[in-house]
Structures are given as C-alpha cells and as structure tokens.
Structure 1
Amino acid sequence: MFPSGSQPDAREVRDFPHPIVEEPAVFIPMPDGSRLAARLWRPADAETHRVPAIIECIPYRKRDATSADDERMHPYFAGHGYAALRIDLRGSGDSDGVLEDEYLASEQDDIVAAIAWLAEQPWCSGRVGMLGISWGGFNSLQVASRQPPALGAIIAVGATVDRYHDDVHYKGGCVLNENFGWAASSLAFMSRPPDPALRDDWRELWQHRLAHQPFVAENWFDHQTRDAYWRHGSVCEDYSRLTTPTLAVTGWADAYVNFVAEILEHAPCPRRGIVGPWPHAYPHLAMPGPTIGFLQEALRWWDHWLKDRDTGIMEEPLYRVFCPSFSEADPQRLEVPGEWLAETQWPSPHIASRELALGNGELQAAEDDAARPGVVRLRAPADNGLQCGEYIPHSSGPEIAGDQRSDDAHSLTYDTEPLDADTVILGRPTLSLRVSVDQPRANLIVRLCDVSPEGVSQRVSYGVLNLCHRDSHVTPSEVPRDTPLDVTVSLNQTCYRFTAGHRLRVSVTTAYWPLVWPSPYPVTLTLHEAGSRLTLPQRAPHDTPPVQFEPAVFSGPMQHRVVRAGEQSRDVTHSLTDGWTRHAIIDDFGEIAYDHGLTNIASADERYAIHPEAPATATMSKSWRQAFQRDGWQVHTETWAALSCDAEWFYLGARLQAFEGDERFIDRRWKTRRRRRWV
C-alpha cells in the first residue's frame, strides 16, 4: 500500500517510443452524477493519433498509497502507445461517494460506465484493456464477465474465481483470521481523506464518507457459508461469461494461487497463464524472485488484442510455471532456486495421479502392504502453526512460511524414504482420510512438505477443512462425535521438484494459528490409517517449448522521497508465567513526501493471543494511525478493531477517530456479536 523497493536486478527505464504527458486529476462522470477520480498517462500526440486505454480500478488512493507501483508500471504502457489510467473506486481516494463493501454490483456498474466513457474520448481508439492485482484482479475478471463492448482484453494478477473458497475470508469452511484482519485494515484505508489540492470540497466529502463508512467485518461474519453473498462476483459460477481474452498471473507464494489453473481449465476465452515463485506482488517487482519482464509480456498481450499486432503471445505455451526446488530457510532470500516449465494443454496429459498410502509414520506406494496401517491419535495445542507465515505474504521476510519442523512436531507426520530420483508435481494434491474427533466442531489442516537430508522441513502446499463442511459448504452440519468419517482435503495448486535424497512429508493436525481461527474446543483427532491416501499430480518429463522472459524493467522516475524510512517487526512470545502465546506484528511505513506536496505517515500494530489448551481464548486486534499533511493542512485518522470469541459467539469491536489538526471531529464505535455457525 505504500512505496517500497524493487528487485535489485530490475532496471528502471525512462526513454520510450512515445513522449508522455501526465494528467494527475481526471474526473470520470458516472450516470448518477458522481465522479471517479483518475490519474492519466498518455502519449503526447494521442489526440491526433488515438490509442487504446488501459485501466486499473482499486480503492487504495492513486494520490499516494499505490503511487510508487503505479509510476513503475503505467508510464511504461503510455510510452508504448496507450492511455493508462489508475482509477480510484467510488468512496476511495479523490472519488465521490462511500465504499460500502467489496465487489458490489454497483462497483462493476461504475467500471462498465468508465469503460464506455473512455471509449468515447478524443484520445482513445475505442478499445480498452483492464488489469490489476488483488482487488484489481478480482474486478478485472468480474467486469470481463459483464462483457462491456469496448473491453478487449484483461490481465488479472493474484486474483480468484471463487470468493468463498479462495479469498481472505473462508477456506475449506474455516474462518481465516484475515477475514477480520482485512476488515480492520479496510476500516483504516477507507477513512483516508481526499486531497484538498484536487478537491475543494474535500472536507464535506470526507465527513460524509466517515459518517457512513461501514465496518465490513459485521457483514462478512453474517455469511459464514457459501451463500448468494459469496456467489456474487465469483466468476466460477458461470465461466461461459468469461469470453474476454485473459492473461492470468500469480505466484506460488501468494494466497491467490489457484485461479490460474481454474481459468485455463474452465474458461472459454482466449487465455494464457503464468505462475512464478512470487508472493502477492507484480512479477516485475516481486521479492523473492526471479522476476520476469512482466511489463514487456503485458505489452505483448495488449498489442495483440488491442492493436491487432502479431506479437507471438498466442504462440506461447498455454501454461508457463516456475518449478521451485528446496532452499535453506532464509526469509530474506531474494530468489528461489528452480526452473521454468511449460504445458501446452491444461489439464496436461503428462500429469498422472500417484497414490501414497499412510501408515506407521510412512508414505509408501499404495499397493505396498509394508506400511502396516493402524489407528493414531493427536491432541494438538491451539497455537500450533507458528511457522505458517502470513496468509497473503507481500515480500520476502518472516511473511513467508518458515522451517516447518516445530509445526510438524504437533502433527501426525508421514514420510517417504529418501527419493531415488527427482520427483516433479504440478497441480492440486489431495489427501483422503478416515478420521474421527471427540467434538462437534473441528478443523483439519494438511501440509505437504519437502524434508532435506538435514531435517529441514519446507512447506510446499497446504489445505484446510472445517469438518462441519465435510459434505457441503452451503449446508454444513455438526460432526458426530467419535464416528469415523471419510473426508478429502484439497491442497492448493503447486509446482515443485523434490530432489533425490529428500523425503516427502504429509502432516495432519487440527490447528493452524494464527492463520485459521480455531474451533471452540480442544480436539482429539483419531486417524484411521487404513485406506488413507495422498494423491500427487506427478509430472512426467517431456519435451516442451523453452520458457523465456525478458529481464524485469520498471518505469520511472518515482515522484516521492523518503523522509524517514519505515521498519517492521514480527515477534512471537510464549509466557512461562501464564502459558499464553502472543504475536506482535508492527509495521511502521515511515514518512513519505510526494512531489505534489502531500506527506504521508502511517503505522499499524497487529496482535494475536491464545492459550494453547483453550482455543476459545483466541483474540486478535489491529490498529492503524495515518497522518496526511501539506502546507497549512494537517489531518489524521486512528482506527482500532478487535475480535474475540467463546464457544457460541464471535465478539467484534471497532473504533474510528478522525482529526483535523488537533481537533477530533469524528468518533465512531462498533460493538456487536455474531453467532458461530458450524465453525
């Protein structure tokens, strides 16, 4: 959300085929009379030589919060013959209105109207592309499914096709802690003021926004099953609507790792997929890398579909993936070892299911009886999962999952013998189990790991399942106690090379804190090993076209300076006095001064606490302080949100304060509860 560095091997470029002009304040009229604010870069001669437009529509403030990433991408497109616009969604940044929730139909209506308006501008050829990462990737897919006539192509990065299964809210029917954490951050982000340098009515607009801003966690906890709320905006509900040419991109370290394969398999549109080693970041800026020339690849996509140029992009393999291999646990690493692979079809005929049976702590070929299956039990502490990393890591560092040995210690683990030869998997592993539990609500967490000869355990993929959702995410039911149940846990899509001499490990447990909110009771899990199977999508070696990308570049210059550098910390403590485990995640984003005169100071404080023997003691909180100033003007907001629970209820609280100078003029509070529904 704030200016950040880029990979050391990425090169800044400032010389382009077309001279660029920038318009920092373009206002796009909506049918209801409201206006969306945009920042526009376009070729200087676009009014005499019209060009296609490319839009990115997100709610994170083009004026400052995303400006560093915007300046490293959109001028590149403008310099190569496009009008590039970063648009603030309604209710954010310098746009009118209130942002009431994610991905509403009204948001899509606004973007469809903006596309139609752009197509009529004197500098636009009438053809429009749309791209974005995260929210901008989501709405690129959603708007493409609306099929606006002028929309000729999209690029979706780090997105999803299923808002219930594969966003920040719920996964496998489990409540993700990010369901509340993202609501807390959204409260802070949407409280930020318009810039008075662009809006004379900034105070009225800001006051209206603050007075009507919702606390979206209330809504998200109202919908704990896959109901109509989540089906809206999930393009998987009707893939036939996705006819717009789509380039789908993500990274194996991102939470949004599944959508690329889903689009390649199900969507009827012309499409290509790229998955690198990256976290939640654009591929030309991501750490860890290796990065790729994403801007050059995007330009090939735009030129082909918006300018009818033969760039060769559609001759590239359907699916290009980076295949990582083991690396020592180094959270600061800049690159992941591995190689690029390609598949010309998806699903691929070169991938076959390989089954491994679980028994006596071993993984062996399913037809091998030597595994000696038995019955084993586990009572995991509620704080198991301390090496899970962030649900959505944005960069190298402790956000990336670490050495899994401490989490394995509180799991049922099954290992292969050291491998005789390299094994490559590509796709979605699954684990079929017969389990029973002694409580009516329980979670199941499965991790697939690579174990080195030295014993280091590296997470390759994972999956979670709320056992109440074992039959349906629409109509869950409580778990019958001490009754064997046959369940299958689907892990995330992955690609990985297990090298000779290493072991595959599958780990099964009932807690994954602080990534998954715990079930309310301590759970004893019984695993009936007979018939339990790990199914791997094993890729056979075969000849495929080589995968090559140009080196990463980014456009410049960035129009800000760092007054005070930020710093981050992530600390975990276990108290020998009271037995609690506590997390403290501090993000100080420093002080940034922008060339247009605005200065931004921001910090966040995120806390988690739980007693290992009492899951219902789980608590989390997140607070933000954001200050904005320019000559003669100074405002700031302070937000706080906290979540706790007991066996039957979630307890939600929040506070929003806004200050002009030293005077507080808004102080809003929320305090409510939501019943736990099969979680």
Structure 2
Amino acid sequence: MTRLLRNLLLAILALNLAAVPASGHDYPEYARESLYVPVRDGTQLAVNVYRPADADGVETDPLPVIFVFTPYRARHVGRDGEVVETALQDGLALRSLLRAGYVVAVADIRGKGASFGARRGFQDRTEAMDGHDLVEWLAAQDYSTGDVGMVGCSYLGGTTMHTASTAPPSLRAIFTGASDWDKYAFVRRGGITAQFNTRPDEPLSDDLASVPVDADTDGSMLRAAVAQHADNTPMAGLWYGMPYRDSVSDLTGNAFWDEVAIWQYADTIREAGIATYFWGNWNDEPTSDVIVAAENLDSRLLVGPGSHCETPRDFDFTGEIVRYFDFHLKGVDNGFADQPRVTYWADEDGDGGHYVRGDSFPGAGAANLSYYLGGDGEQGTLAPDAGSTGSASFAVDYDVANDAYFAFWPSPLDEHGLVYDSEPLASDIDLLGFPTAHVTLAADREDVDVFVYLEVVDAEGTAEVISFGRLKASQRAISEAPWDNLGMPWHSGRSTDAEPLVPGEAAQLVVPMLATSRHVPAGSRLRFVVTGADPRQRNLADLRQDPAPVITISHGWEAGSRIDLPLVMEASGN
C-alpha cells in the first residue's frame, strides 16, 4: 500500500469516528473476561479481554483493540500470592491505552501459560498464524471497530512482528521493541551463541501458576493444557543444534533460521500497509537489529537510554504509544503524521543527554575515526597511528562466567584477554553509530571464537563497555547482505562460506559491533579488549578446551588491526 493511499484511508476513517470515543475520554475502570479461542487447527488459546469502563459501566460502542501475544502468562499468581495481569501494567502503556478507550486483549501463545498445544521451535509460522487468527477473531467481536493494533517488547515484540508478517487484514499498526530482524544474526551473532535466548526453559510449574479462564472453575482445563507443554521444543537445544544459517534442525526438520527470519517477510509487511514503530535502548543487544529493521521497513524509530525493554527516561513513552495508536486506529488529527520519523537519545556528560528528532537513522553520515592496535608485549596501545609492527598472544580464558541470569550487557573483561588503551583524550568526542573492529590474528587451532569490546575508561579509572561484537574465525568471509545493512560488514553464516584457519597463519577478521551513542569527555581513555570467551556463553563447559587455544593478534601498518569509530564532529542539537 502506498503512503498516499494509506493517508487517504486515514482521512476516510476520520470521517467515521462518531462511534469512537476520543482519547480525551478517561475510562478509570474496566471489565475483564477470559476464554479459550480456537485457532485454525483447533488448538485452544487462552485470551484475556479487558474493556474500558467508567461510572456508567462498560463502554458499549465499538472500540479499536490492542492485542498482546505473550509466552510469559497473561494472568498468573505471583510468588506473593497476588494475581499479576499483563494488561494492567503500563510498561508498554497497556493500562493507559485501556483508560484512553481501547479494548486490550492479552493471549498466551500455544504451549505456554493457560493455552493448549505445544510450541514447535521458537516463533515459528504456526505461532505467527495463531497471532493472525486471534487478530481477526478480535476484529470480528461486537466490542471492536475492526481495527487492531499490536504492542510488545522482547519476545512480545517478536510475536508482534511475526503476526504482522502474516498480514492479517485487520492489523493496522504495530509498536515493537527489542526484537530481531534476522534471528540467526541475533541469537548466533558471528556464528556464536552468547545471548539470553539460550537460557533454560521455564518449568511446567510456572505455567500451572496461570489463572484459569473463567469457564475453567476447577482448573482441570489448565492442567490439561499445561500437560501438553511437556512436548515444547527446547529453546536452547534448538539454537545450539543449528551452527550455520543453512543448518537443518533435528527438532523441526527444516532450515529453521529461514523460517523465523523476519526479513524474509518484509515485502509482505510493506504491501499490507501495516504502520510500524520500532523501539530499542542503547545498552541492549537487539537495538542494532531494531535500527536495521526500521530502515528497511521505512519505520518510525525510537532509541532511548537504558537496558532491555526499559522505559526510556525523560521521554513521554506512554504518551507516544497512545498518540501513535490514536492516529492509526482512531484517525485522530494529533500531529503525529508531521512528527519526524526518528528519535534517539544523544549522550552527554555524566548521566545527561537529550533526544534528537530527525529522519535519518542514528549515525547516518558519521565520520570515520580509526584507532590502531599497537604496543609491546602485554602493554597494548590504541592510537590514531598504527605504529611499529608487533604482536601479542593470549590463551583463551574460559573462567569468565558470572552469576547474572540475564546478562543483557557485558561487564568489562579486561582480565580475560588482551587490552589496548589509548592516551587520555585531549578533547571531547561524540560517538554515534556502528563501530567496526578489524583484527589480524593467528591461532593454534582451525577455529576460535573472538569477542571484541569497546570501553570508555573515565579519569578515575572506571571502565564501561559501550559496544561489543563477536565472530567465529571460520565465518570471517564477508558477503553481500540480502537487505540494506547500513554500510556494516555482513557474514553469511552459511556452511558453504566457512573457512577453517590454517594454524599459525594470519587471517583478517572484520567484526561489526553494536550501535552506540556516547559522549567521551576529555581526560577519558578508549579501551579495546579482545577475548576468546564471554560470560553470556551458557555452554562454556562444553566449549572448554584443554589446553586452551592460543590467539595471537598482529598490529602495525601491514596488519591493520584497528577499530573504526563512528564520530560526530559536533554533538547533535535538539
């Protein structure tokens, strides 16, 4: 659907709003019902529907619907004995949307919560079509105008995207955060699993803590549903079992990475005319994927400070979501159409910062600032000039594990590899965009895992990781990406492109690193760290080799080992 046609349809919608209360009407109360809804193969999924209400009772006029599709139990009894309800939380503005005159529906995916069925893989096409069927079921209810939006972050962002990839006719707009554009590059970035998707699966007892649907008065249907969850595909086993992008999973029987790659369905989303808004935060690994997805779908984009699915500070996040859906689902003329497409947090001194609005992705047009690896022995240096030829070696240290269950962002690993420090900066610099590491190395094995980290070390000596990347040395061949990769190098991950190292011979690795927005004040130092293991590798015990691999990094003009930094010559203004 063209932008012109979409705007025309919104204008027509605006002429038919007599039955749709404007968001200025506040609904402080709600009425909830929960029930099982069968999808196309007959599997019954638990759906919780919340309808706005005020002192006069439940709103009887049809309203737009906001749908959330979750594996984390729509309603469950918490450890304190209190009922936790996803729809009544406001991290994704759901409670505010309910108050603003939207029906909010939250459903458990098959194989989780109170829903029946077993999960095949992880965000597969079955789950995507389940989302499609529930969108259309919600659109057909008497309380619905027929216009549906979806919102979600992390896994919920993934269900939002996968549902959109099936182009439900009634799905008008989505707001999705911290999700992936390409599942392989997300879970096995650089060919290496080192990310929270490999955590253990939740025990069935978690799902048994779900609140049964209204008709299930004795909980027997819940128990029967949860019994089917025992057949769920193990998530970590699925990802570990597919080392290459073209691997065939023993658990699903197909090249599963292709099935769950959102980029494969980009044309479907575009042609359906579904409005898209992507959101991420700088200290969160999915954000680089979020930026790429937004650019390839010509989507709105918000990048805030903070960690995984954390509400961006100093920003009216709830108001942004409500205004977005008001525009797309109610046709409210609230100026949203004239708002710049991209909003991102620009870092300043200390904890300060400000939001920049514009139409280009963060870092578009940034200058390139190269810092070269150098030094003698264990004293590594990082400088604008390459310096003399040399090298340094280290044995991979596998003793890097920590106690963090969800290590969304790594802590400094300076004690576990090679460290290269710059001199204190003579003046401030501002980094915005995607760094790239170029590492010339040799190893005593045919393959090694390589992790690189960019840190800022303040004048007091405190180090903080601001970007990182990883690459299995055998997957170092650079290929052409099947999408606009925003100028970053791309490694296919396919078995046909794999090339083992020749032990003792040098090879060049180009490692794309995660996007960053960082003000680095004068007096601070830049630090580049190289390791052979990372705490977020949950299978370190299986990866450990004895003796440990020895990796040698070469530097100097001929070797060209360096990190290219995206430099903003002057800090961006408001």
TM-score with structure 2 setting the length? 0.80
1:313 to 1:282, Cα distance in 2 relative to 1, 3 A: farther
The answer to whether residue 41 in structure 2 is matched with residue 32 in structure 1 is: yes
Determine the C-alpha separation between the residues in 1 that align with 2:226 and 2:108. Answer: 18
1:214 to 1:190, Cα distance in 2 relative to 1, 3 A: farther
1:504 to 1:216, Cα distance in 2 relative to 1, 3 A: closer
CA displacement, residues 259-291 of structure 1 (integer Å, 9 cap, x when unaligned): 2210232114xx2111112222341xxxxx635
Determine the C-alpha separation between the residues in 1 that align with 2:146 and 2:238. Answer: 38
Structure 1, 255-264 or 36-45: larger mean CA deviation: 36-45
| Equivalent AA in structure 1 for residue 31 of structure 2 | E
Cα drift, residue 122 of structure 1: 1.2
The answer to whether residue 497 in structure 2 is matched with residue 479 in structure 1 is: no
Counterpart selection for 1:441 from 437, 447, 454: 447
Residues 161, 236 of structure 1: 8 Å contact kept: yes
Residues 94, 198 of structure 1: 8 Å contact kept: no
The answer to whether residue 173 in structure 2 is matched with residue 158 in structure 1 is: no
Aligned to 1:165, the other structure's residue is in SS state helix
The answer to whether residue 494 in structure 2 is matched with residue 494 in structure 1 is: no
Determine the C-alpha separation between the residues in 2 that align with 1:278 and 1:467. Answer: 31
Aligned to 1:185, the other structure's residue is in SS state coil
The answer to whether residue 41 in structure 2 is matched with residue 22 in structure 1 is: no
Determine the C-alpha separation between the residues in 2 that align with 1:193 and 1:100. Answer: 21
The answer to whether residue 156 in structure 2 is matched with residue 130 in structure 1 is: no
1:478 to 1:274, Cα distance in 2 relative to 1, 3 A: same
Which 5+ residue runs of structure 2 have no aligned equivalent?
Answer: 1-23, 247-254, 478-491
Aligned to 1:49, the other structure's residue is in SS state coil
The answer to whether residue 258 in structure 2 is matched with residue 231 in structure 1 is: yes
1:54 to 1:95, Cα distance in 2 relative to 1, 3 A: same
Map 1:307-322 → 2, pairs under 5 A: 307-322=330-345
Residues 418, 503 of structure 1: 8 Å contact kept: yes
1:133 to 1:392, Cα distance in 2 relative to 1, 3 A: farther
1:380 to 1:90, Cα distance in 2 relative to 1, 3 A: closer
Partner of 2:3: none
1:253 to 1:85, Cα distance in 2 relative to 1, 3 A: same
Determine the C-alpha separation between the residues in 2 that align with 1:534 and 1:292. Answer: 33
Cα drift, residue 242 of structure 1: 2.9
Partner of 2:251: none
Counterpart selection for 2:70 from 34, 58, 64: 58
Partner of 1:67: 84
Aligned to 1:501, the other structure's residue is in SS state coil
The answer to whether residue 544 in structure 2 is matched with residue 525 in structure 1 is: no
1:469 to 1:503, Cα distance in 2 relative to 1, 3 A: same
Partner of 1:538: 567
Cα drift, residue 513 of structure 1: 2.8
Determine the C-alpha separation between the residues in 1 that align with 2:205 and 2:233. Answer: 11
Counterpart selection for 1:429 from 425, 430, 435: 435
CA displacement, residues 324-372 of structure 1 (integer Å, 9 cap, x when unaligned): 4576xxxxxxxx443333342136554122222222122222xx35x22
Aligned to 1:482, the other structure's residue is in SS state coil
CA displacement, residues 591-642 of structure 1 (integer Å, 9 cap, x when unaligned): xxxxxxxxxxxxxxxxxxxxxxxxxxxxxxxxxxxxxxxxxxxxxxxxxxxx
Partner of 2:193: 175
Partner of 1:296: 319
Determine the C-alpha separation between the residues in 2 that align with 1:30 and 1:313. Answer: 35
Cα drift, residue 526 of structure 1: 0.8
- The CA RMSD measured in Å over matched residues stands at 2.7
Residues 283, 466 of structure 2: 8 Å contact kept: no
Determine the C-alpha separation between the residues in 1 that align with 2:517 and 2:105. Answer: 35
1:174 to 1:452, Cα distance in 2 relative to 1, 3 A: same
1:353 to 1:310, Cα distance in 2 relative to 1, 3 A: farther
Determine the C-alpha separation between the residues in 2 that align with 1:19 and 1:290. Answer: 25
CA displacement, residues 434-488 of structure 1 (integer Å, 9 cap, x when unaligned): 1110112211110000011222111111111111222241113432211110111
1:506 to 1:56, Cα distance in 2 relative to 1, 3 A: same
Partner of 2:307: 279
The answer to whether residue 373 in structure 2 is matched with residue 373 in structure 1 is: no
| Equivalent AA in structure 1 for residue 116 of structure 2 | D
Aligned to 2:535, the other structure's residue is in SS state coil
Counterpart selection for 2:166 from 132, 135, 146: 146
Partner of 1:264: 294
1:92 to 1:540, Cα distance in 2 relative to 1, 3 A: same
| Equivalent AA in structure 1 for residue 191 of structure 2 | G
Map 1:75-474 → 2, pairs under 5 A: 75-167=95-187, 170-176=188-194, 178-181=196-199, 183-185=200-202, 189=206, 195=212, 198-199=215-216, 200=218, 201-202=220-221, 205-206=224-225, 208-227=227-246, 228-243=255-270, 244-268=274-298, 271-283=299-311, 290=313, 292-324=315-347, 336-346=351-361, 349-360=364-375, 361-365=380-384, 368=385, 371-384=387-400, 392-393=407-408, 401-402=410-411, 404=412, 407-471=413-477, 472-474=492-494
Residues 37, 95 of structure 1: 8 Å contact kept: yes
- Structure (1/2) with the larger helix percentage: 2
Determine the C-alpha separation between the residues in 2 that align with 1:209 and 1:542. Answer: 55
Aligned to 1:142, the other structure's residue is in SS state helix
Aligned to 2:420, the other structure's residue is in SS state strand
Determine the C-alpha separation between the residues in 2 that align with 1:507 and 1:218. Answer: 30
| Equivalent AA in structure 2 for residue 124 of structure 1 | S
1:174 to 1:536, Cα distance in 2 relative to 1, 3 A: same
Determine the C-alpha separation between the residues in 1 that align with 2:230 and 2:414. Answer: 48
Residues 191, 210 of structure 1: 8 Å contact kept: no
Cα drift, residue 391 of structure 1: 5.1
Cα drift, residue 41 of structure 1: 1.9
Residues 449, 457 of structure 1: 8 Å contact kept: yes
Determine the C-alpha separation between the residues in 1 that align with 2:198 and 2:203. Answer: 10
Determine the C-alpha separation between the residues in 2 that align with 1:325 and 1:420. Answer: 17
Residues 204, 229 of structure 2: 8 Å contact kept: no
Cα drift, residue 221 of structure 1: 2.7
Partner of 2:11: none
Cα drift, residue 211 of structure 1: 5.0
Aligned to 2:110, the other structure's residue is in SS state coil
Cα drift, residue 16 of structure 1: 6.2
- Structure (1/2) with the larger strand percentage: 1
1:29 to 1:68, Cα distance in 2 relative to 1, 3 A: closer
Determine the C-alpha separation between the residues in 2 that align with 1:280 and 1:543. Answer: 25
* Percent of residue pairs identical: 26
Which 5+ residue runs of structure 1 have no aligned equivalent?
Answer: 1-14, 284-288, 328-335, 394-399, 547-679
Determine the C-alpha separation between the residues in 1 that align with 2:410 and 2:237. Answer: 30
Aligned to 2:201, the other structure's residue is in SS state helix
TM-score with structure 1 setting the length? 0.68
CA displacement, residues 80-111 of structure 1 (integer Å, 9 cap, x when unaligned): 11111111112222222223332121111111
Residues 73, 207 of structure 2: 8 Å contact kept: no
Aligned to 2:130, the other structure's residue is in SS state helix
CA displacement, residues 147-179 of structure 1 (integer Å, 9 cap, x when unaligned): 211111001011111111213xx2211132645
1:91 to 1:517, Cα distance in 2 relative to 1, 3 A: closer
Residues 355, 534 of structure 1: 8 Å contact kept: yes
1:188 to 1:385, Cα distance in 2 relative to 1, 3 A: same
Residues 456, 463 of structure 2: 8 Å contact kept: yes
1:70 to 1:255, Cα distance in 2 relative to 1, 3 A: farther
Residues 255, 391 of structure 1: 8 Å contact kept: no
| Equivalent AA in structure 2 for residue 171 of structure 1 | R
Residues 35, 214 of structure 2: 8 Å contact kept: no
Residues 301, 343 of structure 2: 8 Å contact kept: yes
Determine the C-alpha separation between the residues in 1 that align with 2:126 and 2:433. Answer: 35
